[in-house]
Amino acid sequence: MSRGVPFAANPLLAVKLPAYRSRLVMLLVALAFLALALRAVYLQAVSDDFLQRQGEVRYGRTIELPASRGQVLDRNGVVLAKSLPAQAVWASPEDLKASPEQLKRLAALLEMPERELRSRLADEDKTFVYLKRQVEAPVAEQIAELRIPGVHQRKEYKRYYPEGAALAHVVGFTNVEDAGQEGIELAHERMLAGTAGSRRVIRDRLGRAIEDVGAIRHPRDGGDLQLSIDSKIQYHAYSALRDAVAAHKAKAGAVVVLDAHTGEILALANLPTYDPNERRQLSGAQLRNRVMTDTFEPGSTLKPFTTALALDGGKVTPKTVIDTAPGRLKIGSATIGDSKPHGALTVEEVLQKSSNVGTVKLAMTMPPQRMWELFTGVGFGQAPQIGFPGAVAGRVRPHRSWKPIEHATMSYGHGISVSLVQLARAYTVFTNEGRLLPLTMLRSDQSVPGVQVVSPKTARAVSHMLELAAGPGGTAPKAQVAGYRVAGKTGTAYKQENGRYVRKYIASFVGYAPASDPRLVVAVMIDEPTAGQHYGGQVAAPVFSRIVGDALRALRVPPDAPLSNQMIPANPVQESM
């Protein structure tokens, strides 16, 4: 065998592939490299936005700079709500490195079970998880001293309410994001909230900001808000209501105090209440602002308006005599009665003694439309426009549907529903020469003209009758205040449940003082007193007396009556129900 024969000469190893295939493969490889090169040039030179964004996601952050919420002040500048610096404690589970002792200490500072803390930190795929919001500064400092890698803090604010439960239903509260949820905090959210700012930073892998890289938008703090509330009067109103609800073992109670000449709300209190600084176990009963949201049959507190209507229409004079004997009046198949027979009474005595029969006889001299016009004219059946959440309209049925018995019962406050704030506002007619005032929760230094509802002469006449009603011969001698003349009217009404009257009561009183030159209008409602007394003169009138006495002295209003205590009869006249 010749050694000069080449290896490829073997027929088994001969290459039979066409030559163009190798050239095609080389061409495809070259095109692939060219495409990669063009793509690289495109991404790095022509359009690098995508890569920049992807890189920035890994090291850049936009940090929100929280705005400080505006303060809420009372009419004298006392702080009712303010924001305090706090910290939000958060963690990055994937970066967390903590010893068992550190975790135990952290859980104790956060006031949470250690098991819950470990559960929040268990998912290592997460890069952010809140551990606790609105941590107070001293606690936040102790957490920082633990120096746990992966646990961080962010500045925020926590709302604080110095007056606590006494003003809860006025001021309301904010949530963990510092947004208003109830009361003034909700009603004036836009003004109080302000606008958060922001800045762009570079963070290291531990989440620490190491460099500012973007423009800073400074936060704009919220504006301060000054209310019409007087915190001193609020305290007196809340204390008197709290004691009365406890003494009479009542289900609930409410009080509202108005400036008699401006319509400013000086105090508003409800029970049950809550502490807006501690809201872990809130109930619906605690949250209800009964002054604004609850309606009830006002009972005899509506009699002054029926009397005013009869006087204003020229049907009677204060000295016109009305025969109320034998203390009962039959209308259709129904019978209306007084608490006891009174016989012949003048119009002013009808109101003083709170005679149902006398009031109905006055009402029957007028068409239903006139009574309906007066009720709606003083604001019943319409939600008061005071810029406060939850204010209700109550119910006044159209006069065309009134039956004779409904015409009669509405004259003394049954078959109609009102809120306490509506009732208090209606009484400004008698403190302002017959004009109805608008209400406001914000401080106002200007007097408002109001809307004329009855004549000044009628308003003065009814005011005198209300002074008699709150005196020794009326239904509310316990409303008397040493040194001051007072005027007002009691109310006692059965409650309705499932459309039927039950033997549960609402006791109320609405009045004003000093009667010679009214400064305050006060309305009191006690819901379901169960300690043995249930009449408005027994239950609500003493609350009025205590609030008015304390408030007038706090305002340094000069006395307009002898300083000696008024003589209160052992058995005052009870209003008819």
Residues with a known catalytic role: 300
Which amino acid, residue 280?
R
Nearest of 242, 370, 243 to residue 306 by alpha carbon: 370
Is 435 strand, coil or helix?
Answer: strand
Nearest of 235, 244, 258 to residue 424 by alpha carbon: 258
- Separation of alpha carbons 307 and 267, rounded Å: 29
- Separation of alpha carbons 489 and 511, rounded Å: 6
- Separation of alpha carbons 157 and 160, rounded Å: 10
Which amino acid, residue 85?
P
- Separation of alpha carbons 134 and 156, rounded Å: 7
The Cβ of residue 239 has, within 10 Å, a number of other Cβ atoms equal to: 15
- Separation of alpha carbons 224 and 177, rounded Å: 19
Is 424 strand, coil or helix?
Answer: helix
Nearest of 191, 199, 198 to residue 221 by alpha carbon: 191
SS3 letters for 296-356? ECCHHHHHHHHHHHHHHCCCCCCCCEEECCCCEEEECCEEEECCCCCCEEEHHHHHHHCCH
